Structure 1
Amino acid sequence: MEGIKIKALIIPIFVLLLLSVSVAASLTIQEDEIVLDADYSGFDTKDQDFITVDASVNINNDDAAEAVVTVSVEGLPAGYEAEDVELNIAAGATEKATISVNIPHDKAPGEVKIGTVRVSAGAEEDTVDLLQNTKEMFVFNKIEVDYRDEDDKKQNDEFDTDGEENDFSLNDHVRVGSTITFDITVENLFPDKDYRDSEIEEIEISLDSDDDDIFGDDLDDTYAFSDLEADSKDKLTIEWEIPEDVEAGEYTLEFTLEGEDKAGVKYKVVKSVDLELERQDDDVRITRATVSPNLVEACEGRQYTLDLQLYNYGNDNQDQAAVRISNSELAILENVMEIEMDEFDDGDDTWSDAFTFTLPKGVKVKNYPISIQAFINRDDTIDTETVNLEVVKCPTTAADDEEDNPNVIVSTLPATTQPQQPEKPAATADDSVTGGSVVTSVEDPYTIEDFFIAAVVIAAVLIVTLIALFFMILLKKR
């Protein structure tokens, strides 16, 4: 008897549960959320206020009867518009409704909730969130990297960065102490310059790393671009020398691009490049080579000094390093052998010395390149450097000036007391003469023209005299 009573209670409860589930699930939206993909490249006329974006909504009618369903969009921000949609859905069927939303140029790139989609049929309804996914209109178009690998060979990697991928890696290791160059191209994806809000302004790229030791001291971390019109690109080059004393290992460089369009929408894109710094086993470099003074007068016996330093940046100790300094015109040939240096960052990893040279006699006035070579294993060249010594004219003396001006006679007269002269205006510093002697210059009074004129005069006098004598002789004969 008790078993019959329990069954009598269970059956009605089970039926009620089935009915409640059936009622609750009679009208449902299949999607968990509805996404509107907003591409602002649809703004292509001057005074356009919005673009229209469609989205599909799949609706299930699990009721036993046909349902007249209304699809509405609620809670939209100011400037957005959407109209209700009605459709009939047969019992137990699924239908697709299309909603259309007018979207203004208002949101930054990315996904954000802008409202709610509601489906209803009488007392039955269901709702899901409505999201707007706005496309990037300002992007990294390309990043190109030039660098040297651990064997000091040139490498070039190029990344197309205008897609969704944000993380990139160099294909080869990067040599410590080498120069690395990033050519970064950015692009404005608005298609039409006529659209009033298409220009991108206040463009900046910032550079960061998980370890700033890779940058050194002089690298800027922010770089500015000029304003960028629609459908155009611009390129910026960032270059620096990786410090020679930085630790080898993995580093991540992060590039952040920011800008703002004329509608006030802000853009921010982040891309990263992973690289690994590698130190060579044998890496001896000339780190200092300076000549002092670098201007030397071409006078016999003049001297100058070359200050030289080697640094071992490699992983191996060096006990047979060497240096050669040479220039045949300056009669320089200096060899230093058996130089010992510890491995990098392990005590005595440098060598330095100063070399003093004397200019040879008769050296010409010009620029002289002095060659410096560094070796390992006694004769394997590992680094070279050139420093310039400029030889200038030796200053001339007073005796040299006399030889250059033979028509000037220089005499020294004893100083005498001058008679009192009437008062004159005060002499300038250039007019004054000091010391116990006066140097005067007397020019030769006779020139070739003077001798020629004198000869003509003498010839004329002789002719006149001869004519006079001739007439006197004629008169006597008569």
Structure 2
Amino acid sequence: LATSILTLQKSNEPTGGTGSGTGTGATSQDLTVDLEISEDKVSPGDVVTFDLDIENTAEYDAEEVEVTLTVKGIDENGEDVEVEAETFDLNDEGSDDNVEVLSLALRVPFTAEEGEYDVIVDVEWKNEDTNEKFINQVVEENAIEVERQDHDVRVTEIILSETAVDAGNNVQVGITIFNVGLQDEDVKIRVKSTELGVDLTSGQFELDEDEETTQHMSFTVPKNTKNGEYVIQATVMFGDSESKTEFATLKVGGQGKDGVSVIPLTTTISNEFGSIGLVLGIIIALVVIALVSKEFIPASWGVRTEIIRRR
């Protein structure tokens, strides 16, 4: 199974209608598409995996095959969300390598509204012999249903002041959480790294339904820490011993970038804090470079909360 590292993006195309292909090529079913979806009922923030078998049934080789998967209208303001696989080639039907197996993954937007959403797969390619372009579009109507749970708080972002530091230096961590559930929650945030001896917990505070908050914490990397990569674990605790955890990586020694915002794509869920939960989806992190202002850096070991209302 080939796992594609994807670019997650909003579509610029307007929502609505299943249609046929939107590309410049003629419609063709020479390349067939078999789609399987890991979960048909999901919550905001869940990771969904789409397994695709793309088979060339034609008597010609297919070049520059492009696969785009779109979830229609699932993002804010009814915008689409797309994932694109890397371009590949397929041999003709009578040859080896005429099938490409892909596993595409995306996270359901945290702001996704409850409802059912169509999934569309567009496959575009050209005939190696004639350079003629073709497109095949597969539409799965109401393929994904989004349901909000009564109690559900997610870590939506982890911000590191630096991705690489020297032993003995200070690191600031910003953790953003979003209450995607239907109930107001009393929450705590925990930042932990067993290897670095870090274990910080915020005080308990209330987070209303559909509300987002960011907390900032800082710690010092021990002076005797060896160079290497270390996992930073950010956990939000809420409800009846429920928790959700995301991860970021801090490099000790070497060069890094300041103010890196890590939007995690791997979710660990546990019913009891401290236990190792089930890892959902594929371990992917979409890294966005951002500048961090001086206001971001709190006093050593300090905690600051910012409330952002989305209503």
TM-score by length of 1: 0.38
Q: Which amino acid aligns with 2:178?
A: Y
- 1:330-385 Cα deviation digits (max 9, x unpaired): 554332232211112xxxx122222233455x5333444443322113x6142123
Structure-2 separation of matches of 1:227 and 1:296: 45
Identity of aligned residues (%): 24
**Residue of 332, 340, 347 corresponding to 2:206:** 340
1:185 has 2:53 as partner = yes
Give 5+ residue unaligned stretches, structure 2.
1-27, 255-311
Structure 1 residues 271 and 218: alpha-carbon distance in aligned structure 2, compared to 1, 3 A threshold? closer
Q: Which amino acid aligns with 2:83?
A: L
Asked if the contact 2:32/2:56 (under 8 Å) is kept, the reply is no
Structure-2 separation of matches of 1:248 and 1:200: 43
1:145 has 2:145 as partner = no
Structure-1 separation of matches of 2:195 and 2:86: 48
Residue equivalent to 2:42: 174
**3-state SS of the aligned residue for 2:89?**
coil
Structure with higher RCO (Cα < 8 A, 6+ apart): 2
Structure-1 separation of matches of 2:195 and 2:246: 18
Q: Which amino acid aligns with 2:173?
A: L
1:266 Cα deviation (Å)?
Answer: 8.3
1:385 has 2:246 as partner = yes
Asked if the contact 2:74/2:113 (under 8 Å) is kept, the reply is no
Q: CA RMSD in A?
A: 3.8
Residue equivalent to 1:165: none
Residue equivalent to 1:230: 93
Structure 1 residues 176 and 215: alpha-carbon distance in aligned structure 2, compared to 1, 3 A threshold? farther
Structure-2 separation of matches of 1:294 and 1:259: 39
Residue equivalent to 1:271: 138
Structure 1 residues 251 and 258: alpha-carbon distance in aligned structure 2, compared to 1, 3 A threshold? same
Structure 1 residues 343 and 200: alpha-carbon distance in aligned structure 2, compared to 1, 3 A threshold? same
Give 1 or 2 for the bigger CA radius of gyration. 1
Aligned residues: 217
Structure 1 residues 183 and 369: alpha-carbon distance in aligned structure 2, compared to 1, 3 A threshold? closer
In the TM superposition, 1:406-445 aligns within 5 A as: none
Structure 1 residues 365 and 314: alpha-carbon distance in aligned structure 2, compared to 1, 3 A threshold? same
**Residue of 217, 220, 238 corresponding to 1:355:** 217
**3-state SS of the aligned residue for 2:38?**
strand
Residue equivalent to 1:312: 179
Asked if the contact 1:215/1:240 (under 8 Å) is kept, the reply is no
Decide which structure has greater helix share. Answer: 1
In the TM superposition, 1:26-105 aligns within 5 A as: none
1:145 Cα deviation (Å)?
Answer: 2.3
Residue equivalent to 1:239: 105
Asked if the contact 2:56/2:62 (under 8 Å) is kept, the reply is no
**3-state SS of the aligned residue for 1:383?**
strand
Asked if the contact 2:174/2:217 (under 8 Å) is kept, the reply is yes
Structure-1 separation of matches of 2:227 and 2:216: 23
Residue equivalent to 2:271: none
Asked if the contact 2:50/2:105 (under 8 Å) is kept, the reply is yes
1:253 has 2:119 as partner = yes
TM-score by length of 2: 0.55
1:211 has 2:103 as partner = no
Structure 1 residues 341 and 269: alpha-carbon distance in aligned structure 2, compared to 1, 3 A threshold? same
Decide which structure has greater strand share. Answer: 2
Structure 1 residues 240 and 324: alpha-carbon distance in aligned structure 2, compared to 1, 3 A threshold? closer
Structure-2 separation of matches of 1:357 and 1:258: 50
